[in-house]
Amino acid sequence: MPIMAVVTLVAKIFAGLFVLLFIYQVIVRVLAKTLRRYIAVPAPAFLGVLLDSRFRRKIQPPSDIVRRSGIKQGMRVVDLGCGSGTFTLEMAKHVGENGEVFAIDIQPKMLQQLESKLQKEENRAIKKLIKVIEGSAYKIPLEDESIDVCCMISVLQEIPDRERALCEVRRILKPTGVLAVTEFIIDPDYPLSTTTINLAMKAGFVVDEMLGNFWNYTVRFRKGALTQ
Ligand SMILES: C[S@@+](CC[C@H](N)C(=O)[O-])C[C@H]1O[C@@H](n2cnc3c(N)ncnc32)[C@H](O)[C@@H]1O
């Protein structure tokens, strides 16, 4: 096969994939936004299985997201809107026995899925490092300035009053604390990184580092000086 034909074929495949992704985003986005206009619902709990599917772990490996979020040994970390806990267990492995992970979600049925993972023999060692808490991002049941890293993975756009939630995150972070927001294009609520950055800046954060790529990014923020 001549080289030009191969190049054309590859270009066509990429263009086709891009168009499919675009159509998916438009359809799912319109559906999600229309639904949310009438009922402010979080991702239903039965999606917990999909959120922790083998496919997702392959395209968005938990170890990558945890590394990007800046989680290290001994840290106190919050997985805010943890869902079924796809990333929570990996966070616990990274903080180690001197650290702590608070897995917080508003839906008890999501948390039940995380709890049943924690009951497995293979997770016995990390189970004690994870505190599973039913709670809202509007009123996080943790003390002021007590947390090193707060991760929000595919969560922020699901929260109706995002600024309020981010101010609450700001409250629980230590002065050196980090807010790590991760978004992935397959999520119907996926926002551009500029949208995420503008939201966080409104709540008094400054960008520390941006990692990943257009479809799958993590923005790490630090607490900036409050102007008001
Ligand atoms: C799309 S899921 C993502 C779950 C998980 N972070 C992941 O990436 O697998 C969003 C999660 O955010 C939770 N959530 C939505 N609004 C919330 C709020 N106000 N406070 C706490 N959790 C919330 C939902 O219950 C849901 O489990």
Q: Is the pLDDT of residue 228 over 60?
A: no
Spacing, Cα 204 to ligand 1 middle (Å): 22
Minimum mean pLDDT range among 26-35, 70-79, 99-108: 26-35
Give the Å distance between the CA of 7 and the centre of ligand 1: 42
Distance CA 91, CA 207 (A): 22
Whether 137 lines ligand 1, by a CB cut-off of 6 Å, is yes
CA angle 143, 145, 148 (to 5 degrees): 110
pLDDT band of 22, cuts 50, 70, 90: confident
Q: Superfamily assignment of 45-223 in CATH?
A: Vaccinia Virus protein VP39 (3.40.50.150)
Q: Is the CB of 43 under 6 A from ligand 1?
A: yes
Average pLDDT, the chain: 92
Local confidence band at 87 (pLDDT 50, 70, 90 cut-offs): very high
What local confidence, expressed as pLDDT, does residue 26 receive?
73
DSSP string, the chain: --HHHHHHHHHHHHHHHHHHHHHHHHHHHHHHHHHHHH---PPPGGGHHHHT-HHHHHHS-HHHHHHHTT--TT-EEEEET-TT-TTHHHHHHHH-TT-EEEEEES-HHHHHHHHHHHTSGGGHHHHTTEEEEE-BTTB-SS-TT-EEEEEEES-GGGSSSHHHHHHHHHHHEEEEEEEEEEEETTSTT---HHHHHHHHHHTTEEEEEEEE-SSEEEEEEEE-----
Provide the pLDDT for residue 188: 86
Single-letter amino acid, residue 41: V
Q: Is 42 in the pocket of ligand 1 (CB under 6 A)?
A: yes
Which atom of ligand 1 approaches the CA of 110 most closely? Answer: 27
The preferred substitution site among 105, 111, 157 for testing ligand 1, maximizing ligand atoms within 8 Å of CB, is 105
pLDDT at 40 over 90: no
Boundaries of every domain in the chain? 1-39, 45-223
> What pLDDT is recorded for position 68?
97
> Which of 158, 166, 168, 181 is the pocket-test mutation for ligand 1 (most atoms within 8 Å of CB)?
158
Range with lowest mean pLDDT among 7-16, 39-48, 168-177: 39-48
pLDDT digits (tens, 9 = 90+) for 101-117: 999 999 999 999 999 99
Q: What is the mean pLDDT of residues 166-181?
A: 98
Pick the more confident residue, 2 or 209: 209
pLDDT at residue 178 above 80?
yes
107 lines ligand 1 (CB under 6 A): yes
Q: Is the CB of 110 within 6 Å of ligand 1?
A: yes
Distance 4 CA to ligand 1 centre (A): 47
51 lines ligand 1 (CB under 6 A): yes
Which residues share a beta bridge with 216? 184
Position 16 scores a pLDDT of 87
181 lines ligand 1 (CB under 6 A): no
Per-residue confidence (pLDDT) for residue 77, from 0 to 100? 98
Gap between the terminal Cα atoms of the chain: 65
Q: How confident is the model at residue 1 (pLDDT cuts 50, 70, 90)?
A: low
Residue-level pLDDT at 84: 96
